[in-house]
A and B are shown apart, each in its own frame.
Chain A
Amino acid sequence: MEGSTRTVAGQSHRLGSGGQIDRNAPLNFTFDGKTMTGFAGDTLASALVANGVRLVGRSFKYHRPRGILTAGPEEPNALVELRTGARREANTRATTAELYDGLVAQSQNRWPSLRNDLMSVNSLFSPIFVAGFYYKTFMWPAKFWEALYEPAIRRAAGLGKTAGIADPDHYDKAWAHCDVLVVGGGATGLAAALAAGRAGARVIICDDDSRLGGRLLSDGGEIDGIDALDWLQGAIAELSSLPNVRIMTRTAVFGVYDGGDFGVLERVNDHLPQPPEHQVRQRLWRISAKRSIVGAGAIERPIVFPGNDRPAVMMASAVRTYVNRFAALPGKRIALFVNNDDGWSTVDAIRRAGAEVAAVIDPRGKAAVGDYSGVRVVQGVVSDVGGGVDGVSSVTVNGAGGIQKIEADCLAMSGGWNPNLALSCFHRGKPAWRDDIAAFVPANAPTGMTMAGAANGDLSLGACLRTGHAAGAMAAAEAGAKGKAGNAAKASDEAFAIKPLWHVQVKGKAFVDFQHDVTASDVQLAQREGFESVEHLKRYTTLGMATDQGKTSNVTGLAIMADAVGRSIADTGTTVYRPPYAPVAIGALAGHNRDENFHATRLTPSHHWAAERGAVFVDTGLWKRAQWFPLPGETDWLQSVTREVLAVRNGVGFCDVSTLGKVDVRGADAGTFLDRVYINAFASLAVGKARYGLMLREDGIVMDDGTTSRLAEDHYLMTTTTAKAGPVMQHLEFCRQVLWPELDVQLSSATDQWAQFSIAGPRTRDLLQALVDPSEDMSNEGFPFMGVRTVKLRGGMDARLFRISFSGEMAFEIAVPARYGGAMARNLMIAGEPFGVTPYGTEALGVMRIEKGHVAGPELNGTTTAGDLGLGKMASKKKDFIGRVLSQREALTAPDRQVVVGIRPLDKARRLRSGAHIIPKGGIPGPETDQGYVTSVCFSPTQNQWLGLGLVSHGAERHGEIVKAHDPLRNETYDVELCSPVFYDPEGVRQRA
């Protein structure tokens, strides 16, 4: 590949040949409104480089002009707002954004323009705006913080602007499984995947990049005696041909979780303007792997010296990437500042591209190996970089021969390589220091993970191929694969000699963390103030807390701290590594579960029927339940609900109650079992009878209530509240399997099996008479209160009929298999037609239970005892049951507990509201006078006023007392009377009629 400085029309810095771009596919894009052209295969960054753009962004704090530093996900500077409208995304790294036709990017964190950013005055105050300055000021006057200082700081901080409107794209999530997960598709990862794949293991190989190859794409070289890029084609072809290998590009492994689970993000369609129809933008994978191999490469690190943040100061490896992979020239006269041999290899790339090498500045003098004749070499360091917002014009060098200025339009730097070991540390393993490469290397990787290649500190291509292959073969074998892994590919082990150089100690702003504007002197200041722990250093200066998570800056920063404290770097240690390896869109983590799909929806058997009747639905847990059924002309919910209640009280109505939990409790010991879980007796319940039951938690607090029927000697049907169906089932299984394994009981949820309707009102029997087979005796004697049995219905249907009442009326519950739920609703309408039958919803149900003084969710709130609910007498004294012992504790039986009472406003026109508190008449509201609160309210059509239930201290003894309902939230205080909670038919005559 012989490049040349001959450029492509309009792309001032595009080489005339070479690179892995498709010159036949030109793509237009705009940056800050200016239209430019790149090629398929470009990233936004490479296209900007090709177009000679240097100034790309502004830094976080000082708003300093910044260019492109790297060519990968570690990029701290070149962040843009990508796309427009609802798809605008902030902080997108130009170095990883693939170019597509019509791409629109804006620079960010500047005003009014990138070139003239007024916020760059912050730079003038930089003597004051040092690390942690804000902790020392803005304290007075106290009120000014929220009003003035903080808003100003917030506006200046932040980076890009997000769209602020709903993300229009779709996301989903998926699972995948494999024997061996290979992270990274560079030389190491390819070698590993080939070995494991050949051995027959199920392999998934993921690479963040759009293409496999890693640094091979940038650095080329020779493998197995052929050009590395040709070898790469062969390797990809072989992997693609193996049915047990799955290749996933544009896919980043971002997290390592317990037991071999990996968090993985596939950017399915980010390389397109928008996802094609029916496709997602990104997909979250959870990959479950028996073994993993991480060949994530290494990240080149900058050197800290004044001016190192000027646009067109670039990592040496990035210069190679732009030149070799993208045929884009970061500069035409490029100087190098390096302290290791790998940096020197950039010289070849520059020369082959036909550009000029201004000089190589290396504190060591010459490279240890390699032929660099004809290159100007200066033994020394760079102490300043000349230029402006548009980049470099010169570099100042402090060398053996004194200070000199060298003209250059780009400075390539290399301070060495940090193995990309984040994934090995996500289980809180700490890396170890290796002197020979002056870098941290993985130690204590999570179980099942092998680090290999550059990510493990084996930097040479030969070593990458060897260690990758060995890791692949071993992982496959450990995962149980029996095949042969074949031979490792071979390449030379180029020397890697380095002399650590972290910081050029001369005057001037020398940046450690580019994005967050953390300088070497900030690190030193933190040390002086006692923020010596690297974790304190991080939090005090914000070093490493930017979008790049310090991929280029952390190690350098702590080396400077080590120096300031006089400790070794190894002793100084690293900060904690945390997922994600690269930032992940929240949309992808949510996947399909947003908007109406946030949670599943459960429908009752009569749902569609109710919907056809125009029911208004309410969410109860996951269920949609009919709340009321408005009739034409009704404008207010209360109107509808009141009508429904009166229809029941005076005639007959029905309501779908299928949502109640139903549990088949079967087995020889079913009765004994229920005796232990309920506070009252069930073994003694006669077959064909139902009984109300109350169960406690072991701490003596009420857990749930419901009616349980005995259908056969060894068969009970328990009902639970809608909300607690799941938890109660779990609890019962615990009792069965853990507490009393000796009992012969089997449990099965029958909730969804039955469509169950409550039919209530004085005309209930009339309705039923019309529905049931004439042979059924429906008289009070033939079907007494709390009786249960299967009856024949007209038209050939069996139903379970329970004579139970929640409303206080003469009532039954009727159950048929769920598939007949719709038919049942229709037939109830037909059977009840002569009696004015009225379907009612949960609201009317609630009104009637309050009128009747039945407790429900608001009273069963997890802090009330049976006694509090007025149900203490139900507790059997003859048996043990769950919660019995602890329910007797002193504070749970104290006389001043808040217990259920009825509450009615003295002014009959007054609306009572839930959540109002009860204070004694004449009492001044305060913690001492706060005696309880209103739990449930309704407008009672039978009493023709609002009334409610409450939990009030000493409530049972205070019926008749006038107290105050105090509701400051709604600016109301009014007199109410405490009374019996049973407002309607206290003798219970109606339900037994």
Chain B
Amino acid sequence: MRIACPFCGARDSGEFTYLGDASPKRPAAPLDGGAAVEEQFYDYVYLRDNVAGFTREYWYHGGGCRSWLIAERSTTTHEFKSVAAAPGAGAAKTAQAGER
């Protein structure tokens, strides 16, 4: 399997590691958030759609340019539809936290 790193080009999958679904977003965590925030974090850390079909997911090109990537990939065919850099890969300036 080859994964087209937007920086390095198509590379053997052995250079990458997988993290999982890229849709859950780390919730804001005010210090006095209480149970509601705990519930959001529970959802963020544990619950997954786990769809059969295309998903957006995190891959890390650790054996190459060390960029975190967001790939659209099918879990049924393993086909990659797109691979994009995480917002903070490289030095591009992103204005806002969590703008992604």
Direct contact of A and B (CB under 8 A): yes
Q: Interface of A with B (CB < 8 Å)?
A: 175, 257-261, 286, 288, 427, 447, 698-699, 726, 729-730, 733-734, 736-743, 746, 877-880, 884-886, 888-889
**Contact assessment for B68 and A259 in the assembled complex, using a CB-CB cutoff below 8 Å:** no
**Contact assessment for B42 and A886 in the assembled complex, using a CB-CB cutoff below 8 Å:** yes
Does B96 count as interface, using CB distance less than 8 angstroms? Answer: yes
- A259 contacts across to B, CB distance below 8 A: 1-2, 78-80
- B60 contacts across to A, CB distance below 8 A: 730, 733-734
- A257 contacts across to B, CB distance below 8 A: 1
Q: Which 9 A-B pairs have the closest CB atoms?
A: A741-B88, A737-B88, A258-B1, A741-B94, A737-B68, A741-B87, A737-B86, A258-B78, A885-B41
**Contact assessment for A698 and B45 in the assembled complex, using a CB-CB cutoff below 8 Å:** yes
The smallest beta-carbon distance between A300 and chain B, in angstroms, is 33
Q: Per-residue 0/1 for B70-100: is the Cβ within 8 Å of any A Cβ (1 yes, 0 no)? A: 0000000111100001111101001111111
Give the complex CA separation of A736 and B41 in angstroms: 19
- Contacts A738-B88, A741-B88 aside, 11 further interface pairs with beta carbons under 8 A come to A259-B2, A259-B80, A261-B1, A286-B12, A734-B19, A738-B68, A741-B97, A878-B31, A880-B31, A885-B38, A889-B38
The smallest beta-carbon distance between A172 and chain B, in angstroms, is 16
The smallest beta-carbon distance between B12 and chain A, in angstroms, is 8
The smallest beta-carbon distance between B33 and chain A, in angstroms, is 7
**Contact assessment for A733 and B66 in the assembled complex, using a CB-CB cutoff below 8 Å:** yes
Q: Is the interface of B mostly helix, strand, loop or mixed?
A: loop
The smallest beta-carbon distance between B57 and chain A, in angstroms, is 12
Give the complex CA separation of A878 and B68 in angstroms: 30
Q: List 25 A-B contacts (CB under 8 A).
A: A175-B12, A257-B1, A258-B78, A258-B79, A259-B1, A259-B78, A261-B2, A288-B2, A698-B26, A698-B44, A734-B19, A737-B89, A738-B68, A738-B86, A740-B97, A741-B86, A741-B100, A742-B88, A742-B95, A742-B99, A743-B88, A878-B31, A880-B31, A885-B37, A886-B38
By CB atoms of chain B within 10 A, which of A736, A741, A880 has the most?
Answer: A741
**Contact assessment for A739 and B67 in the assembled complex, using a CB-CB cutoff below 8 Å:** no
**Contact assessment for A734 and B68 in the assembled complex, using a CB-CB cutoff below 8 Å:** yes
- B87 contacts across to A, CB distance below 8 A: 737-738, 741
Residue of B nearest to A698 (CB): B45
Does B29 count as interface, using CB distance less than 8 angstroms? Answer: yes
- B45 contacts across to A, CB distance below 8 A: 698-699, 886
Residue of B nearest to A734 (CB): B68
**Contact assessment for A730 and B88 in the assembled complex, using a CB-CB cutoff below 8 Å:** no
- B30 contacts across to A, CB distance below 8 A: 880
Give the complex CA separation of A974 and B2 in angstroms: 57
- A742 contacts across to B, CB distance below 8 A: 88, 94-97, 99
- A877 contacts across to B, CB distance below 8 A: 31
The smallest beta-carbon distance between A918 and chain B, in angstroms, is 31
- A739 contacts across to B, CB distance below 8 A: 26, 98
Residue of A nearest to B90 (CB): A737
- B64 contacts across to A, CB distance below 8 A: none
Q: Is the interface of A mostly helix, strand, loop or mixed?
A: mixed
- B23 contacts across to A, CB distance below 8 A: none
Give the complex CA separation of A699 and B58 in angstroms: 18
**Contact assessment for A447 and B79 in the assembled complex, using a CB-CB cutoff below 8 Å:** yes
**Contact assessment for A736 and B29 in the assembled complex, using a CB-CB cutoff below 8 Å:** no
- A288 contacts across to B, CB distance below 8 A: 2
- A743 contacts across to B, CB distance below 8 A: 88
- B79 contacts across to A, CB distance below 8 A: 258-259, 447
Give the complex CA separation of A260 and B77 in angstroms: 13
Given the contacts A877-B31, A885-B37, A885-B38, A738 and B62 also touching, CB distance less than 8 Å? no
Q: Which of B32-49 contact A (CB under 8 A)?
A: 33, 37-38, 41-42, 44-45
**Contact assessment for A730 and B41 in the assembled complex, using a CB-CB cutoff below 8 Å:** no
- B44 contacts across to A, CB distance below 8 A: 698
Given the contacts A737-B89, A740-B97, A886-B45, A880 and B68 also touching, CB distance less than 8 Å? no
Give the complex CA separation of A257 and B13 in angstroms: 12
Give the complex CA separation of A726 and B89 in angstroms: 18
**Contact assessment for A885 and B33 in the assembled complex, using a CB-CB cutoff below 8 Å:** yes
B19, B31, B41, B89: which contacts A886 (Cβ < 8 A)? B41
The smallest beta-carbon distance between B89 and chain A, in angstroms, is 5
Give the complex CA separation of A699 and B12 in angstroms: 31
- B77 contacts across to A, CB distance below 8 A: 427
Give the complex CA separation of A729 and B68 in angstroms: 12
- A879 contacts across to B, CB distance below 8 A: 31
Give the complex CA separation of A729 and B94 in angstroms: 22
Residue of A nearest to B60 (CB): A730
The smallest beta-carbon distance between B70 and chain A, in angstroms, is 8
The smallest beta-carbon distance between B66 and chain A, in angstroms, is 6
- A880 contacts across to B, CB distance below 8 A: 29-31
Give the complex CA separation of A877 and B31 in angstroms: 8
- B99 contacts across to A, CB distance below 8 A: 741-742
Give the complex CA separation of A738 and B26 in angstroms: 10
Given the contacts A258-B78, A447-B79, A880-B31, A736 and B88 also touching, CB distance less than 8 Å? yes
Give the complex CA separation of A260 and B3 in angstroms: 11
The smallest beta-carbon distance between B14 and chain A, in angstroms, is 10
The smallest beta-carbon distance between B13 and chain A, in angstroms, is 8
Residue of A nearest to B38 (CB): A885
Give the complex CA separation of A878 and B30 in angstroms: 10
- A884 contacts across to B, CB distance below 8 A: 29
Residue of B nearest to A697 (CB): B45
The smallest beta-carbon distance between A267 and chain B, in angstroms, is 24
Give the complex CA separation of A888 and B80 in angstroms: 38
Give the complex CA separation of A733 and B63 in angstroms: 13
**Contact assessment for B67 and A737 in the assembled complex, using a CB-CB cutoff below 8 Å:** yes
Give the complex CA separation of A733 and B68 in angstroms: 7
By CB atoms of chain A within 10 A, which of B19, B26, B30, B78 has the most?
Answer: B26
- B97 contacts across to A, CB distance below 8 A: 740-742
**Contact assessment for A738 and B31 in the assembled complex, using a CB-CB cutoff below 8 Å:** no
- A726 contacts across to B, CB distance below 8 A: 62
Give the complex CA separation of A888 and B1 in angstroms: 41
Given the contacts A258-B1, A730-B60, A740 and B41 also touching, CB distance less than 8 Å? no
Give the complex CA separation of A258 and B4 in angstroms: 13
- B94 contacts across to A, CB distance below 8 A: 741-742
The smallest beta-carbon distance between A602 and chain B, in angstroms, is 16
Give the complex CA separation of A740 and B93 in angstroms: 11
Give the complex CA separation of A699 and B41 in angstroms: 9
- A733 contacts across to B, CB distance below 8 A: 60, 62, 66, 68
The smallest beta-carbon distance between B71 and chain A, in angstroms, is 12
- A427 contacts across to B, CB distance below 8 A: 77
The smallest beta-carbon distance between B29 and chain A, in angstroms, is 5
- A886 contacts across to B, CB distance below 8 A: 38, 41-42, 45
Give the complex CA separation of A175 and B10 in angstroms: 14
- B37 contacts across to A, CB distance below 8 A: 885
The smallest beta-carbon distance between A275 and chain B, in angstroms, is 27
- A699 contacts across to B, CB distance below 8 A: 45
- B66 contacts across to A, CB distance below 8 A: 733
Residue of B nearest to A749 (CB): B66
- B89 contacts across to A, CB distance below 8 A: 737
- A258 contacts across to B, CB distance below 8 A: 1, 78-79
The smallest beta-carbon distance between B3 and chain A, in angstroms, is 8
Give the complex CA separation of A888 and B62 in angstroms: 32
Give the complex CA separation of A710 and B44 in angstroms: 33
Residue of A nearest to B37 (CB): A885
- B100 contacts across to A, CB distance below 8 A: 738, 741
Residue of A nearest to B22 (CB): A738
- B41 contacts across to A, CB distance below 8 A: 698, 885-886
The smallest beta-carbon distance between B83 and chain A, in angstroms, is 12
By CB atoms of chain B within 10 A, which of A175, A746, A880 has the most?
Answer: A880
Give the complex CA separation of A734 and B30 in angstroms: 21
- B33 contacts across to A, CB distance below 8 A: 885
Residue of B nearest to A447 (CB): B79
The smallest beta-carbon distance between B84 and chain A, in angstroms, is 12
- B19 contacts across to A, CB distance below 8 A: 734
Residue of B nearest to A261 (CB): B1
Give the complex CA separation of A725 and B75 in angstroms: 30
Give the complex CA separation of A743 and B1 in angstroms: 33
**Contact assessment for A260 and B88 in the assembled complex, using a CB-CB cutoff below 8 Å:** no
